Amino acid sequence: MTVSLLAWTAVAAPDVDDDLVTRLRAGDRDAVEQAYVAHHAAIRAFARRLVGDPATGEDLVHDTFVALPRAIRGFRGDASLRSFLLGVAVNHARRHIRSAMRRRRATEAMAAQQRAGGAGAAADAGVELERRRLADRLSAALDELPLAQRAVFVLCEAEQRTSVEVAAIVGAPEGTVRTRLMHAKRRLRELLEDVR
């Protein structure tokens, strides 16, 4: 009887991610495509929110999946492949955040010129534009935070993930995640208050 119990973990039916991870580890390039198909939407949503710019977010998605064949060596299987990919995205985000910051500043300068010329007056009424402006303002405030706090804030607040999930993604204890979130929110409130 004991022997059948010993074999329990061996008879576990592998799920799709397990198979995918095995193939990724073996260097199967089709497996990267499969991972992209399965997880691109979640990674893209996070990347765009993290860097605050769709085009730069797309670059981050690209880098995340290109890094996957190498990064998968560090996958321990204690979180889902999607969580792991989000962690890879965080690790590659720094350069893209700087790039998005430069792009946002250039766009702001252009928009200011248009407003000065009266071109933006009609568009100002649009709900979509207002939403975009709020998102830009938050992204600009996020630029003032360290990457670790920024990533935790986006994962917890914009993506509404639990602190347990976020801890697995960023590889930090849950308590640290909560502390980072608290500091991030406090700082963001100050920053957003300043620009009003």
| The residue to which tokens 């993506």 are assigned | 159
Apex CA 171: angle with CA 168 and CA 175, to 5°? Answer: 80
Taking alpha carbons only, the member of 91, 76, 89, 90 closest to residue 18 is 76
**Do residues 61 and 44 lie in contact, with contact meaning Cβ atoms separated by under 8 Å?**
yes
Could you tell me the smallest distance in angstroms from the CB atom of residue 105 to other proteins?
Answer: 18
Lookup: tokens for 110: 């252009």
Could you tell me the smallest distance in angstroms from the CB atom of residue 113 to other proteins?
Answer: 19
Neighbours of 37 (CB within 10 A): 9
Query: Using the rule CB under 8 A, which residue among 23, 137, 178, 183 binds other proteins?
Result: 137
Alpha carbon distance 165, 147 (integer Å):
18
Could you tell me the smallest distance in angstroms from the CB atom of residue 117 to other proteins?
Answer: 20
For other proteins, give the closer residue by CB, 130 or 144: 130
For other proteins, give the closer residue by CB, 69 or 120: 69
Please report which helix (H) or strand (E) contains residue 134, including its range. helix 127-142
Answer left, alpha or beta for residue 126, where phi above 0 means left and psi between -120 and 50 means alpha: beta
Residues 139-158 that bind other proteins (CB under 8 A): 139, 141, 154, 157-158
Burial class for 127, CB neighbours closer than 10 Å (0-12, 13-18, 19+): exposed
Is there binding between residue 125 and other proteins (CB under 8 A)? no
Could you tell me the smallest distance in angstroms from the CB atom of residue 49 to other proteins?
Answer: 5
Query: Using the rule CB under 8 A, which residue among 48, 92, 150, 180 binds other proteins?
Result: 48
Query: Using the rule CB under 8 A, which residue among 34, 80, 99, 176 binds other proteins?
Result: 80
Is there binding between residue 39 and other proteins (CB under 8 A)? no
Question: What is the binding site for other proteins (CB under 8 A)?
Answer: 1-12, 15, 29, 32-33, 36-37, 40-41, 44-45, 48-49, 52, 54, 57-58, 61-62, 65-70, 76-80, 83, 130-135, 137-139, 141, 154, 157-158, 162, 164-165, 167-168, 173-174, 185, 188-189, 192, 195-196
